[in-house]
Amino acid sequence: MLHEKLRQDLIDTARKMEQYNLIRMSGGNVALRVEDMILVTPTAMAYDTMIPEDIVVVDCEGRVIEGKRKPTSDLKAILYILNHMPEVNAVIHTHQPKAVALSLITDKLPLISTTMVDEVKDEVNVAPFTISSDEGMGIQTVEYATRALCVILKNHGIMAFGKDLEQALSAAIYLEESCEVYMSALATGKDITVLTKEQAEAEDAPRGYYGQ
């Protein structure tokens, strides 16, 4: 079996998405590019009982290389992102509720915290609505990504991406936290203080202490 360890990493990532309330049941999906292959979660299967054999390996045009399951129904969108963002290797899609709620009321999550600078990298755009399981989700993600590691899909969910699964998952988790913080502040009806460009740049500058 190709990439057995990485298949388990996809499953572990999907289980963490559930633990952090980013998805329910079989919602969302996880994809990882490995050289010229892409590992993706299967469509409509629960993650708690998923085993490495359930992960599907496809090529960059979506042809199945190895796997007996049907790949995620969002495969076209995932392929579009990976084929147009060469620096990205991991793509996560969720229906995380705070981000979806935010998409109903605004077209942007401004840069509001140091956590957001560190983990999401920039303000996050809300892309216009497209139907699910459509390449349009991928096209909108590439168009609205800017510097951030996430795009919110209006009335639907989010795409998070990164150089590896850890970075994409972290971006999705902290995006959800940031949406919660922002909407809590909005609910007061008072003016919102967002980070200035200078503050964001100072926070983003390498300082070399954090991490073990």
Contact set with Zn ion (CB under 5 A): 132, 157
Closest distance of CB 133 from Zn ion, Å: 8
> Between residues 157 and 162, which has the closer beta carbon with respect to Zn ion?
157
End-to-end Cα, the chain, rounded Å: 34
> Between residues 93 and 121, which has the closer beta carbon with respect to Zn ion?
93
Q: How far apart are CA 175 and CA 161, in angstroms?
A: 12
Closest distance of CB 15 from Zn ion, Å: 18
Residue 190 one-letter amino acid: K
Q: Are strands 37-40 and 64-66 parallel, antiparallel or unpaired?
A: unpaired
Closest distance of CB 156 from Zn ion, Å: 6
Select from 48, 33, 75, 37 the least CA-distant residue to 164.
33
> Between residues 50 and 117, which has the closer beta carbon with respect to Zn ion?
50
Closest distance of CB 93 from Zn ion, Å: 6
Determine how many CB atoms are found less than 10 A away from the CB of residue 33.
21
> Between residues 106 and 132, which has the closer beta carbon with respect to Zn ion?
132
